[in-house]
Structure formats: C-alpha cells, structure tokens
Structure 1
Amino acid sequence: MSAAAPVVRRHDDADSLVGDVASALLDRLEAAQSRGEVPQVGLTGGTIAESLHRELARRASDSSVDWSRVVFWWGDERFVPADSPDRNARQAREALLDHVPVDPAHVHEVPASDEVATAEDAAEAYSAAMREHGAGFFEVLMLGIGPDGHCASLFPGHPVLEARDAIAVAVHDSPKPPPDRVTLTFEALQHARSVWFIASGEGKAEAVARALADEGSVTETPARGVRGDETVWWLDEDAASAL
C-alpha cells in the first residue's frame, strides 16, 4: 500500500506552530502508551525543534505521558565531540531530555567523534543499536527542511542519497558545516507511522513548495523522498507562503 498524500497544517506564527505540534505529539505518545506500546520517536535539530523541545518540557508535568517508556532516536547527527553545541543530541538534552524522567537506556545517540574514530564507525554503531533496540518503525519521526530542500543530512545531489540496504551511513563533504555527519537513509526514514516535517520562516518557503509540488526530483529536493504511513507538514504562514 502506498503512503497517503502529505497533509499540510498551517499556523499563524511560530509560537502557535510549536504549541500545536507539542499538543499533537503528547497526544500520540499517550495514545500509543494506552495501547501498551513503548513509542519510538525520531528527534531533529534546529531552532524550531529547540523551541518545540522546550515547550514539551514545560508541558510534561501536565501530561500523562510516561517518559520512561518513550524511546528516542535522531534522524541525523553532526560527527563532532559529545560536548559540542553543534550536536543535535546535546540540544535536545538541554531543552527536553534533562527535564523529563527518561530512561537513559531509551535514549540512543549517534556516537560522537571523541567516542569512535570515524563517521563510518558511528554509523555502524548506530545501525547496530537500531537493529537491537528499534521497534522497526517510528511512532513519530520529526524532520526539518533546509532552504536547499535537504532533510536529516540528505543533501541535494550528494552521493549518500543513493545509499541502499543500510540504516545509517556516514556523510562527508556536507555542503553545510560541519562536513562530517551521520544520517539515517531514505529507507530507514520511511519506516514511520507518521513523518512530521516542521518548518518556520520565509527562508524555508521555496524549499517547502518544491517538496510538496506535484512534480520534482528527490535528487534536487531530498525532502520529497521521505514519507511515512502518514506525512504531515507543520508550517507557519511564512514557511507556507509559496504554496
């Protein structure tokens, strides 16, 4: 069965966008746990993600989510030292994970450059962790989109777009610093009940429009290449302005 067409949800501004995404995610986690599941979530980085993480932490005490029964992953990571501010995982910890009662065994970070020798080693270890601890799908996978149309660390025209039969791969010569990264592949990102693209700001508008156009190339706009069983684009008016 092919994935359903993407759904677009527009919001007046970044604050209302963040609030609605936070509400929807808490609802999804509560529903999954009420079914007896331990939901697996893919986190992303960036400014709007940091705002979302802080909002989730603020609302945590009012929600019935059992944070010790949520498993966390990342769609991609920068291959830098563990304490680098460039790390998506560090950002998520400081804004959310350090403020809710997670089970450390359920937080799966990509190994850092001061933990393993190469980005290939990090990708191999992350793939092994996902094979061992993954559910085979994300309940919700959150992704951003760059002005160039990239998502995770899948950049336009980059050789890594062609990766097959792999969960995570090393990325070198990234057009956006830092140059070395680890990313989940298209194949791994597709294993999601729901993929949520979250975009804010006029700088994302053209890329969003290309990603949602009826026709276009995944090579030119990699965000076109990720769909879950359900795919939702959460946008503020600026990011939706070219639709």
Structure 2
Amino acid sequence: MTNERRVLVHPNRAALAASVAARFITTAVDLLHEQGDLNVVLTGGSVAVEVLEAVNASAARDTIDWEQVAFWWGDERWVPKNHPERNELQARTALLDHIEIPAGNIHPFAASDEGLDLDEAAASYAAELESHSIEGTALPRFDVTFLGVGPDGHVASLFPHQAGIRENAASVIAVRSSPKPPAERLSLTRPALNSSRCIWMVLAGPDKASALGLALAGASRDEVPVAGIKGRRYTNFFVDREAAAEVPENLTASSF
C-alpha cells in the first residue's frame, strides 16, 4: 500500500486552523460512511487547540455522527486532572464538551491525582488500548492521528536523543526527563503512532521551520524524532508559510 507524504502550505495560522478543521470534518464523515466508526488520536499545543475550536465553530460540526467516534491521546502531561496545561482538559474545553458523544468514547490518560504512579498509568493506558484493539494487534485501528512538532523536532513526548524515540516493543511509555516542562509525561511510542492510517502534523511559526526542513531532508529519528513518524497511508504536514520556510518547493502544495 502506497504511503504519501505531503506538505500543504497555508497563508497564515488562522487559515491553517480553519482549513485543517474543514478537512477533518469531511474526512470523518467519509470514513464513518465507509467503515461505521472512527478512532482519532489528539495532541496538545496551541495550534491543535485552535483546530478543535474551529471544528466546534463550524456549521458542519454535527454532520459527524459523534456517537461513533472515539478519541485517544498521543501524549499527556503528568499533572492533576483539572490542570490548565493538561491536553485532555484543553481538548474538552475546545470541542469535546460541546458535542453529543458518549463518555465512554473518550479515552484520556490517567492524571497525577488519580491514584496511580507514572509507570502504573502507562501500563493502564496500554491495557485500555489493547482492550479496544483490532485482531492481531495491541492497538485500536487509529484512523486520524493529530501531532504537533516542537522546535527540536519532538512529537508527542518523544524527544531527541532519549530512549522513548527508540522504543519498539511497548505501545505506551512513561517519560521522566522531558526537556520541556513538566519533566514527567506519558506518551504513545513511535510504532503505536505509525500504526495510524493517516497522520496529520499541524505546525505554525518560524521556530518550526528548521525541524520540518531537517525531517524532510532525511535526518535521523534520534536527532529529529518527527523524521521517524509515518502513517500507513498518508502523512500530511499542514503548515503555515513561516513553518514552511525551509521546505523545498517541490515538496509543497498550496492549501486546499
């Protein structure tokens, strides 16, 4: 099966968020029609929140049958349940609290105040993933996985030169030495992310240009973790012009 890697450039951050939201709604409707249900992996970060806010604001929001959609997370900060920097809380505020979706369709990582230690929380999420897995795997069928990319090229909580990006056996890891606070986090691993049908990376700003350029130029995944992320069918980089500054023109396309 052919894997396509595409860079779609948008004129600015606002256009980027609106365009990705519109494409997500269309893709969700199409996949639900095709297969009846949908598994979406969410990420953190300000641009990701803006995309979810744009989905929520869209007049087409409820063309999606949200009862057939399940949400997972690519990573989470090890903070209390109601901490403002928790990815789950940001996603709920932006979108999830505004749609008709069964509570059981939302699968957050455990929080630091829920009675588990970090390793237990990683094991618990791996078990939850496996309980919803497709035959022959330890994972659900991830259809669309959203990811941000840090200025250092990290994705989820897989950072350069750390063991997490090299983990090949586990689906979930505990992270204790994140160079970006907080130091403790939970994250899906590279093989878990790469099991996704489609990976959508959403980047904005000049501080992302170097990491994106290096990843597309063939940097090692240990140096630039995003270079090791690739969906089974599609890997799309949705970027604004500033983030695309170091991408060769032959790899880019205008926004749709």
TM-score normalised by the chain length of structure 2: 0.91
**Aligned residue for 1:114?**
113
- Alignment correspondent of 1:20: 19
Are the counterparts in 1 of residues 160 and 223 from structure 2 also a CA contact under 8 Å? yes
One-letter amino acid of the counterpart of residue 173, structure 2:
V
> Aligned partners of 2:25, 2:133: CA distance in 1, in Å?
20
Instruction: Tell me how far 1:126 sits from its aligned partner.
Output: 0.6
Question: In structure 1, how many angstroms separate the alpha carbons of the residues matched to 2:59 and 2:173?
Answer: 33
Work out the CA distance in 2 between the residues paired with 1:120 and 1:217: 28
Instruction: State the 1:164 CA deviation.
Output: 2.1
Contact 1:141 1:195 in 2 (8 A): yes
Q: CA deviation at 1:205?
A: 0.7
Alignment partner of 2:239: what SS? strand
Aligned to 1:223: 226
Letter in 2 for 1:216: A
The separation in 2 between residues aligned to 1:158 and 1:200, in whole angstroms, is: 25
CA drift of 1:35 comes to 1.9
Question: Could you tell me the percent identity over the aligned residues?
Answer: 38
Aligned 8 A contact 1:169 1:185 in 2: yes
Query: Structure 1 CA distance, aligned partners of 2:59 and 2:192?
Result: 29
* Equivalences, count: 241
Give the Cα separation in 1 of the matches to 2:197 and 2:144: 6
- What do residues 59-98 of structure 1 show as CA deviations (whole Å, max 9, x unaligned)? 1655410112110000000111101111100000011100
Could you tell me whether the CA contact under 8 Å between 1:78 and 1:182 is conserved in 2? yes
Partner SS state of residue 49, structure 1: helix
Q: Which has the larger displacement, 159-168 or 47-56?
A: 159-168
Q: Indicate conservation of the 8 Å contact 2:173/2:187, yes or no.
A: yes
CA shift for structure 1 position 187: 0.8
Letter in 1 for 2:50: S
CA deviation profile, 1:174-222 (whole Å, cap 9, x unmatched): 1000000000001100111100000001111111111111x21100100
Instruction: Give SS of 1:161's match.
Output: helix
Unaligned runs of 5+ in 2: 135-139, 248-256
Q: CA deviation at 1:159?
A: 1.5
Q: 2:160 aligns with which of 146, 153, 156?
A: 156
Would the alpha carbon gap of residues 146 and 219 (structure 1) be closer, same or farther in structure 2, given more than 3 Å must change?
same
SS in 2 for 1:35: helix
Partner in structure 1 of residue 191 of structure 2: 187
Measure, in 1, the Cα distance between the counterparts of 2:176 and 2:102: 32
Cα distance between partner residues in 1 of 2:95 and 2:215: 29
Alpha-carbon distance between aligned partners in 1 of 2:7 and 2:61, rounded to the nearest angstrom: 28
Whether contact under 8 Å (1:77, 1:87) holds in the other structure is: yes
Partner of 2:201: 197
Q: Deviations over 1:150-184 (max 9, x none)?
A: 00000000112222211101001110000000000
2:236 maps to 232
- 8 Å contact from structure 1 (residues 60, 100) kept in 2: no
Secondary structure of 1:41's aligned partner: strand
The SS at the match of 1:108 is: coil
Deviation at 1:37, TM superposition (A): 2.0
TM-score between both structures, scaled by the size of structure 1 = 0.95
Q: Structure 1 stretch 86-95 or stretch 53-62: which is displaced more?
A: 53-62
